[in-house]
Each structure stands twice: as structure tokens, then as C-alpha cells.
Amino acid sequence: MPLLPPRWRLLLVAIAALSLPILSGLAWLLLTGWFDQVHGLVPTGRLGPDNWRFLWEAVGGRPSVWIPLRNSLIFSGVVATVVVLASSMAAYAISRLSFPGRAAYLGLVLVLHAFPAVSLIIAIFFILRRLGLFDTLTGVILVKASLELPLGIWLMKGFFDYLSWEMEMAALVDGVSRWTLFWRIALPMVRPGLLALGTFALLSAWGEFILPFTLIVSNQNWLMSAYLQTFLGEAFTDFGMVAAVGLFYAVPVIVLFLLGQRYLLNIYGGGVKG
Amino acid sequence: MKGIRVRLKGLAKHFGRVVALRTLDLDVRAGEMVAFLGPSGCGKTTTLLMIAGIYQPTAGEIYFGERRVEHLHPRDRDVGMVFQSYALYPHLTIFDNIAFPLTLKKIAPAEVARRVRQIADLLGIAHTLDRRPGQVSGGQQQRAALARALVKEPQVLLLDEPLSNLDAQIRVQARGEIRRLQQEIGVTSILVTHDQSEALAMADRVAVFSTGELQQFAPPDELYRRPANTFVARFVGYPPMNLLEGRYEPGAFVLDDLRIPVPPGHPAGRGWLGFRPEDATLDGDVPGRVTVAEALGRENLVTLRIGPAEVKVLVPQGRRPAPGTPARLGYRREHVHFFDASGRRVGA
């Protein structure tokens, strides 16, 4: 690698300095997860897999970690799918069809997005109770997906607005129905948007804590975030295990990133190419 | 593939309060190629989209043969259409683009492949079939769009400014190709264009539009020889026809204190006198002065000031009078055009 010009070296130093708090946090997580004891960032105890025993045994009356992991995978996967499908259909309708109340609906969606989830949680609790969906994965999935929809609809509307009308006219003359037009022409052309939205929804659902924490009680329905929280709520907190569970919780996201690296960077870099 | 007669009866289109097309009656013969010519916003594209079935007419009827179609979905009308932007599907290969209308009709894959190859061979794009639209040239995209429109063997072919995105050189070649192909197949075609040379070169008959109204519907040479009104006179032909606004008196056209002698058959009172630059000369008897002389290559174009007006005269290559030189304007009497005060043509 060629030596960087001085200006760039300065920039690198600045970036490194800004990233230091996050990097040291990650370093702490890694060290604490693998050593018996850590003072600051200096390990003092033995290196060993003791903190990771939650992987093969149930710890302190909790269910096996594989149950919340499975729940979290289902939760995030379904939320992302629902959000991508529902927002793209709604966005297409808003972008392309004219129907009464279109502008009002668009405004309403934006207003809905302004409500923080926490402020709605009591109402949501009562609604889920009434529907018999309290303490179920289905219930939390529906709530989380609904909260993600406003952003998704606006994002996808932006993508659909850029599709050329001539393209749709051409498809109509070629003989498509509205539905075929949506599935076979419009959707494939906004694929970058679908991927971006799907990724955001997946990550947001994976990291979701408040909703599953308040709307799920039975430990068989726990998500990973709630499982992790139980370690912090104890009289004596085993930070080694908290770190290990935290690392374990992050593994699927890292795997997702490694698999989709090229695509994701393209999206984050603003590369919306048709 | 056999063409079909297309008739428009009392067709009109309003967008809210805006009148895009007032009332249009038009009869396109089977197998004919008709051009809709006019400046942008004149209603030509609106009419085309109503024929395609994209727009619902506000009033009027559309007939394909004896079948009334204005209420039908585009897919039930049996039309093919080429768009200005070509509107190829960027995520599909050229093959899949051309095959798309056929696959929607649930035609067997082997038959689809056979017909796609056949039309691709005809248009000389067989070697591009497995590429995407973004990977082929503009001319190839244009032909792929044409292939997609023709592959389902439509009864009517609609072309919306199909050549305006091509380079000037390819454009002349492409318009010849489209015309040859259209005559070979015999499909009734409607071409929308704002380029008069395209309309005159390609079409059997040209419909000239302006501000939502049909101005004239005639073969190209008649459009040129006998424009129905001052709009057509000015719009068709390059350099445009000289049009002078003044007053007719017996045997003369009066422009301020100038008297231009005119042959019989002229209207009375206020009106317009028209003659084309190629029918004008510098050897007449109306006094004037040269203001500009431009070389066009084969000829020179001289601009002459006579009284309050400017007039263009085409003269042979050798003659290029300097600006300021006095000259005497004349015109060939047999090629004069008379229009009344409202701009309508008077006489033959």
C-alpha cells in the first residue's frame, strides 16, 4: 500500500480518535467475554470458555439460549418481510394511483412516524390483551412491523416516484394487469430500496428491546434482548457472562454483514443504481 | 400481420379545466402510416395515448375496424407501441424485453423464442439478445423497443417520437428502416413527432395539430403546396413560408405604403399573403434592402426588408448580396398563397 499524503494521515488520526470510545467498548466486550476477570482493559484472570457455558446449559432458571435466539430470528425475519411487502405495496399505491384521501393519508403516515413507540405502549398493551395476542410472538411482530411501516412507506414512495411513467405505459400496452405490473416491472426496479429497507427493518427488529420486554412475559417467548437483560437485573451481575451473551447476540448481525457486505456498502454509500 | 382501419369520432380529452384535445375526427386507412405533427402541447401525444388505451377519452369514440375500443384495457386492443425513451425494462435482457408481451399471453416458450429470434433477425439485433438495455447502443435500444412492439403482431403500431433520442445520422437511417418495415408488414401505424422532416419523409398522410385542434390532414406534398391555414403554412417547410399581414385591394396586396401586385382569386379586405422563400426572387418590382445573407451550402438565404416586414429569399449559390444593398423583391405568381383575416386559406 502506498504511503498516504499528509492530509489523509491527519484525517485517519481524527477518525481513529473519534472511534476510540466505541473501539474500547468493543475491546472490553471481547476481553471480558473470554477472561475470568478484567480490570479496565487489562485481563487479570484465566483465559477460558467458562463465560460461554450458557451455550450448553440453562443458566439460573432461564431457558436455554437457543430458544430466545430462535424467537429473535423468527421475529426479525417476519418483521422485515412484512415491512418490505406492506410498505412497497402501500408506497406504490400512493406513488402511482390517485384515490380520494391520498394526500391526507400521506400526512397521517408522517404524523404516525413522529410518535415514539414508548408513548404508545400502554394502549398497545390493552389492545393486545383484548385481541388475545399479549405475550405472543405474533403480537410483538405485528406491533413492531406497524411501527416500522411509516418510514418504510416514505422510503419506498421515494423509489417508486423515480420510475418512469413511460415504462409503466409500455407494460400496460404489452398487456400487464396492475398487479403484474407491480410484481414484474415496478418491484424489480426498486430492488436497491427493498434491500435497504429490509436490512434496516431486520437490524431494527434484531435490536428491539422495549416492545418484547413489556409485551412478552413467558420465558419461552423471550427475545435475545430480553434474555440479555435478565443478566443485568440480578443482585450480583456476572459481567463476564453479560459480555459473552452480548457477543453471541451480535454474531448473526456480523454474519449478515459479511454475507451481504458488498450490497450493504453499496446501499449505505447511497448507490441507488437501476 | 394485416393492418386495420382506425377511426376517431368526436374524440376529446380534458384534464380538469385544461382542454388537451378539442374535438377530433380522423380516419386512418388500413395499412397506412399517418404522422401526427405539431409543437409540444398540441394534443398529438394525448390522442396517441387515447388510441393506446392509456388515457380514457372525455368524449368520443375510437374504432379499430368495426370494433369500438375506447373503453377497452390496452391489453385487449392489440396495439404495439414504441416510446420516446424506449421504456425498455432495465432489469431484463433484450430477449426477455421482446418476449415480455408474448409471455403475458401464455404462449409456449419454444414459440416465444422462435418469434423473438425472427423479429430480432429482421431488425438486425439478434446478437444483442442476451444483453441488458444499458449495455447496448441507443440505436439498438430503439430497435429492441420496435421489436417488442411488433413481436405480438399488433393490428396498430403507435410510435411516440421514436427517433428523437437518436443521433442525427442514425435518425435518417432509422426512419427509412421503420418505413420500409412498416410497408413490408402492412401494419397501420401512427407516428407522433414534432419534426416535420420526419413526418413528411415517413408518412402517407400527415395530421397537423395545434392547441388541441386538427389543422389539416393531408399527404405531405399537399400539406406543402396547399396549406389550409397560416399555422400549417408557417409550420411546414424550411425555411418557413413568408407571411405578410396587410389589406387586399383589387389586384394588389397593400402593406403600409407598399403595393404588391397579386394575381386574381385573392380575398378582399384584411388578410395574409404567403409565398415560400424558394418561390421568391430578387428580380421583381417591390423595393427593399438586404439585411442578412446566409450561406446554406447548396443555396444562399437572403433576408430582405420591405416596408415594415422581413422576407426570406432563396437564391442560387453564386449570388450573395452584401447587407445594405438595395434589391427588388418578386415572387412566382403561380405559387402564391392567400389567407383571409382569420388565417384560413382562400382559393386553390
Domains of chain A: 66-238+260-268 (1.10.3720.10)
Out of A166, A175, A185, name the one closest to residue B75 (CB): A175
Q: Which chain A residues are closer than 8 Å to B96 by Cβ? A: none
Q: B49 or A245: whose pLDDT is higher?
A: B49
* Residue range B194-222, pLDDT digits in tens: 999 999 999 999 999 999 999 999 999 99
| Residue B1 clears pLDDT 70, i.e. is over it | no
Domain range annotation of chain B: 6-230, 240-346
> Where does the pLDDT of residue A274 fall: very low under 50, low under 70, confident under 90, or very high at 90 and above?
very low
Q: Which chain B residues are closer than 8 Å to A174 by Cβ? A: 75, 100-101, 104, 148, 152
- State which H helix or E strand residue B208 sits in: strand B205-210
> Where does the pLDDT of residue A31 fall: very low under 50, low under 70, confident under 90, or very high at 90 and above?
confident
Query: B94 Cβ partners below 8 Å, 6+ apart?
Result: B88, B120, B125, B128, B129, B130, B131, B132, B133, B136, B140, B144
Q: What architecture (CATH level 2) is domain B6-230?
A: 3-Layer(aba) Sandwich (3.40)
Chain A interface mutation, best of B15, B55, B86, B91, highest count of A Cβ atoms under 10 Å:
B91
CA distance B304 to chain A (A): 46
Question: Is A172 an 8 Å CB contact of chain B?
Answer: yes
**Across chain B, what does the average pLDDT equal?**
93
Which candidate, B15, B98, B89, B1, places its Cα nearest to that of B49? B15
Out of B73, B87, B149, name the one closest to residue A167 (CB): B87
**3-state secondary structure string, B65-124?**
CCEECCCCCHHHCCEEEECCCCCCCCCCCHHHHHHHHHHHCCCCHHHHHHHHHHHHHHHC
C-beta of residue B190 within 8 angstroms of C-beta of residue B31: no
The three cell numbers of residue A168 are: 409503466
Question: Is A272 an 8 Å CB contact of chain B?
Answer: no
Please report the pLDDT score of residue A266 as a whole number. 61
CA distance B157 to chain A (A): 11
Q: Measure the CA–CA gap between B289 and B156, rounded to whole angstroms.
A: 53
- State which H helix or E strand residue B213 sits in: strand B213-218
Task: Determine whether the interchain pair A172/B84 forms a contact, defined as Cβ–Cβ distance below 8 Å.
Answer: no
Q: Measure the CA–CA gap between B146 and B189, rounded to whole angstroms.
A: 12
The three cell numbers of residue A36 are: 475470568
Question: Is A273 an 8 Å CB contact of chain B?
Answer: no
Q: Measure the CA–CA gap between B145 and B162, rounded to whole angstroms.
A: 9
Give residue A156's Cα distance to chain centre: 17
Query: B39 Cβ partners below 8 Å, 6+ apart?
Result: B194, B210, B235
Give residue B35's Cα distance to chain centre: 5
The three cell numbers of residue B62 are: 375510437
Nearest CA in chain A to B52: A173
Q: Which of residues 136-165 of A touch B (CB under 8 A)?
A: 164
| Residue B109 clears pLDDT 90, i.e. is over it | yes
> Where does the pLDDT of residue A270 fall: very low under 50, low under 70, confident under 90, or very high at 90 and above?
very low
Task: Determine whether the interchain pair B89/A172 forms a contact, defined as Cβ–Cβ distance below 8 Å.
Answer: no
Please report the pLDDT score of residue A27 as a whole number. 85
* Residue range B124-167, pLDDT digits in tens: 999 999 999 999 999 999 999 999 999 999 999 999 999 988 88
Query: A229 Cβ partners below 8 Å, 6+ apart?
Result: A209, A213
> Where does the pLDDT of residue B256 fall: very low under 50, low under 70, confident under 90, or very high at 90 and above?
confident
Please report the pLDDT score of residue A273 as a whole number. 42
CA dihedral B233, B236, B242, B246 (to 10 degrees): 20
Q: Measure the CA–CA gap between A79 and A199, rounded to whole angstroms.
A: 11
Q: Measure the CA–CA gap between A83 and A80, rounded to whole angstroms.
A: 5
Per the document, the length of chain A is 274
User: What proportions of chain A, in percent to the nearest 5, are helix, strand and coil?
Assistant: 75, 0, 25
> Where does the pLDDT of residue A272 fall: very low under 50, low under 70, confident under 90, or very high at 90 and above?
very low
C-alpha angle with apex B316: B315 to B318, nearest 5 degrees?
A: 120
Q: Which chain A residues are closer than 8 Å to B53 by Cβ? A: 172-173
Q: Measure the CA–CA gap between B86 and A47, rounded to whole angstroms.
A: 66
* Residue range A46-104, pLDDT digits in tens: 777 778 888 888 887 788 889 999 999 999 999 999 999 999 999 999 998 888 888 89
Q: Which chain A residues are closer than 8 Å to B83 by Cβ? A: 166, 169-170
- State which H helix or E strand residue B206 sits in: strand B205-210
Helix A66-96 / helix A224-232 crossing angle, nearest 10 deg: 130
Out of B74, B91, B158, name the one closest to residue A189 (CB): B91
Nearest CA in chain B to A168: B87
Question: Is A167 an 8 Å CB contact of chain B?
Answer: yes
Q: Which chain A residues are closer than 8 Å to B135 by Cβ? A: none
Nearest CA in chain B to A274: B90
Cβ neighbours, 10 Å, residue B191: 28
- State which H helix or E strand residue B175 sits in: helix B168-185
Compute CA distances B74 → A119, B80, B145, B154, B212, whole Å.
49, 10, 17, 12, 23
Nearest CA in chain A to B80: A173
Task: Determine whether the interchain pair B74/A189 forms a contact, defined as Cβ–Cβ distance below 8 Å.
Answer: no
- State which H helix or E strand residue B205 sits in: strand B205-210
Cβ neighbours, 10 Å, residue B83: 22
Count Cβ–Cβ pairs < 8 Å, chain A vs chain B.
Answer: 64
Question: B240-346, what's its fold?
Answer: OB fold (Dihydrolipoamide Acetyltransferase, E2P) (2.40.50)
Helix, strand, or coil here: B328? Answer: strand
Please report the pLDDT score of residue A117 as a whole number. 78
Query: What does the DSSP assignment read for B239-285?
Result: SPPEEEEEEEETTEEEETTEEEE--SS--SEEEEEEE-GGGEEEEEE
Query: A203 Cβ partners below 8 Å, 6+ apart?
Result: A253
Chain B interface mutation, best of A169, A174, A272, highest count of B Cβ atoms under 10 Å:
A174
* Residue range A194-251, pLDDT digits in tens: 988 998 899 999 999 989 998 998 888 899 998 888 888 777 778 888 888 888 898 8
Task: Determine whether the interchain pair B104/A189 forms a contact, defined as Cβ–Cβ distance below 8 Å.
Answer: no
Question: Is A183 an 8 Å CB contact of chain B?
Answer: no
Query: What does the DSSP assignment read for B18-81?
Result: EEEEEEEEEEEPTT-EEEEE-STTSSHHHHHHHHHTSSPPSEEEEEETTEE-TTS-GGGT-EEE
The three cell numbers of residue A274 are: 437501476
| Residue A151 clears pLDDT 70, i.e. is over it | yes
Question: Is A173 an 8 Å CB contact of chain B?
Answer: yes
The partner residues of B287 in beta bridges, in order of sequence, read B328
Task: Determine whether the interchain pair B83/A170 forms a contact, defined as Cβ–Cβ distance below 8 Å.
Answer: yes
